Structure 1
Amino acid sequence: MAVNGTNGVHAHTARPLRAGIYAPIPTFFVPDTEDLDLESFDAHILRLAQAGVWPLIAGSMGEALHLSHSERQTLIQSARRALDGAGLTRVPIIAGTGAGSTRETVELSKEAAAAGADSVIVITSGYFAGVLATHRPALKAFFTEVAEKSPVPVLIYNYPGASGGIDLDSDLITELAADSPNICGVKLTCGNVGKLTRIADAIAAPDFYDLHPRKNPAAPFLVLGGFADFIHASNFVHAHGAITGLGNVAPYTLAKLYEVSVASVADASLRPEALRLQGIVARADYTIAKASISGTKYLLEKLYGYGGAPRKPLPPADPAASEALWAHPHVQELVQLERELSGKIPQ
């Protein structure tokens, strides 16, 4: 059993992922020094977990490329301590471990598991995209080897915008799901609803798990969107939720949207409310996503008093653009809804 990193003694307890909403957690930095701001990081993770949104650490939103191996481990350990200390011992942690080489990706996955991560998420290596994009066997071999050597289950992260334009197709992802028993899902930040539908349909086949049993029977293959604008519709094609940056800004809203959407599959009377919530979320997601990491951090500063700037060379948020983002009617509509659902008095 791997050590969970909380105190170096207790055995790691598997916390399988389940359908729902996950958020890629920003990494917060101390002004001037750019050291890790663990106080804000822990507070944010607890805020989201208490709303029903679970953490993904050291992903794209978390500026993984700007973090050292030891900093990634520190973040995972800090998050686990904070969650356990708040009695949230069953909340799983996903950690981003994608790197340039297969070797380093495996190394990061082992380090993440030792620090307390319950699953890892791996993006396709994009530096040599000119070679890999058209080399299907190499792409499959990358994920297959990482999954075989990772101590914890692996999610595929399909994000062409951060992997040199490499866009895994539904056939390859479905093939990996079938052939690699330690692969536990996919995050589709390609925005391809058709791809999501095809993969989810394959996984939902009545005999999928009989034909392709998982390494951990409690860890099914999850099909997760990378945006919040089609959460409602994705439930009707057997998908399993989303990993979305908007969960940082409005965790209660995203959790409520998912809950009502799931229930509306069986109860048509709930669909108008699900569609109302989805409309608010979709408009805000479209507006806020364009502001990227710095914009999300600015909104967190406005809402919760922490956020700060990204690590250099990423620039801080432009003050005028940030104020315009905060004042945007799509954002204010979401903020109002989030305050209502969280019990906060509108300000």
Structure 2
Amino acid sequence: MTTDGHTTLPPPLRPFGRALCAMVTPFTEAGALDLDGAQRLADRLVSRGCDGLVLSGTTGESPTTTDAEKAALVTAVREAVGERAALVAGVGTADTRHTVELARAAEQAGADGLLVVAPYYSRPPQDALESHFREVADASGLPVMLYDIPGRTGVRIEPDTLVRLAEHPRVVAVKDCSSDLLGTQKVLARTDLAYYAGCDEQILALYALGAAGYVSTVANVAPEPFRAVLDAFDAGDTREAARLQRRTIPLTELMMASGLPGTVTAKALLNALHLPAGPVRSPLRPAGAGTVARLLSAHGDLAADAARLQV
């Protein structure tokens, strides 16, 4: 209760922090895993405001990395960032047994949590989805972030399924790429699940509704501007938070809605900025010169605005 008699909501649970980056997986020019580059990129992201890193997710090209590479990436990044940031390891596959194996390996490698996407292509019904997630959550001692992204998997984790899964002690969070604001609010109202916006354009909208934070692809190249959105909102300056969210839209649109996967645009811009990234693995292909030039322009505009206002 505030001094003016209004009831305040408790702060959201934040099991993995609030400003998370879906980090790219750097490769060498020959296409091998670049652990040194991963360590340097992770350190940069944490130093610039990320309190969590998601490794081997969609942006991390998890379909093209081996199990050994995934484990080595967690170990190397943990060495680089220590306890300064939570590490969430992507372990989701279309095969429950394989996902369980990856979950156990991630725990042994030093992850703090697991990102588990809905099994793709086979499109299991909701009872099978629920069983899959429960089996994975039972397989290790790590907390689980469910990844709801039906546009890629072909199957939705329905709100009622999320409500039931929230009863599991290790299912603690959701990365939300459902684009279903009504469904998200229903789950927030009925559970204590920590929601993380998985679409950069929705960060402020979900945060204002009680989400814990975000898992951002664009943060690979612009970690501070997105952290500033949350900082302004937490300080009570909602008008400024809205302005800060809107100023990220040109870069977000180019990176996430230009017809290219975010992995491709993130790596293109990181490479242009002489930061660790390297090539994408097939079947992805690198961005063209025109796309890179537009990305650099939008990134420069965002950086100039931040410098001008010292935000």
Structure 1-normalised TM-score? 0.80
- Residue 45 of structure 1 corresponds to 42
Maintained 8 Å contact 1:196/1:225:
no
- Answering whether residue 182 of structure 2 is matched by residue 194 of structure 1, we say yes
Which of these residues, 11, 27, 30, is aligned with residue 28 of structure 2?
30
- In structure 1, the residue matched to 2:85 is 91
Name the structure 2 match of 1:333: 301
> Which residue matches 2:4?
none
Match of 1:281 among 231, 243, 248: 248
**1:76 and 1:117 in contact (8 A); partners too:** yes
One-letter code aligned to 2:248? V
User: Which amino acid counterpart does residue 321 of structure 1 have in structure 2?
Assistant: T
Quote how far apart the aligned CAs of 1:100 are. 1.9
Which sits farther off after the overlay, 62-71 or 186-195? Answer: 186-195
CA distance, structure 1, for counterparts of residue 307 and residue 283 of structure 2: 34
Per-residue CA shift, 1:104-148, capped at 9, x if unaligned?
11110000000000100001111212xx1xx22111111111111
The match for 2:207 is 235
Deviation for aligned residue 1:161: 2.6
Size of the aligned set, in residue pairs, is 294
Change (3 A) 1:315 1:149: same
What SS is found at the alignment partner of 1:59? coil
Deviation larger for 305-314 or 95-104: 305-314
Residue 196 of structure 1 and its aligned partner are, at CA, apart by 2.2
Change (3 A) 1:119 1:342: farther
- Gapped runs of 5+ residues in structure 2? 1-13
SS in 2 for 1:81: helix
Q: Distance in 2 between matches of 1:223 and 1:244?
A: 13
* 1:20 Cα deviation after fit: 0.9
User: Comparing 334-343 with 150-159, which one deviates more in the overlay?
Assistant: 334-343
Q: By how many angstroms is 1:273 displaced?
A: 1.1
Gaps of 5+ in 1: 1-15, 205-220, 265-269
Alignment of 1:47-196 (within 5 A): 47-53=44-50, 54-84=52-82, 89-129=83-123, 132=124, 135-163=125-153, 165-177=154-166, 179-196=167-184
Which structure 2 residues correspond to residues 254-265 of structure 1 after superposition, within 5 A? Answer: 254-264=226-236
Q: Distance in 2 between matches of 1:193 and 1:303?
A: 35
Q: What is the percent sequence identity of the aligned residues? A: 27
TM-score, normalised via structure 2 length:
0.88
Which AA in structure 1 matches 2:102? L
1:26 to 1:338, Cα distance in 2 relative to 1, 3 A: farther
Q: Residue 312 in 1 paired to residue 282 in 2?
A: yes
SS at match of 2:63: helix
Q: Distance in 2 between matches of 1:278 and 1:56?
A: 22
Contact 1:59–1:96 (Cα < 8 Å) also in 2: yes
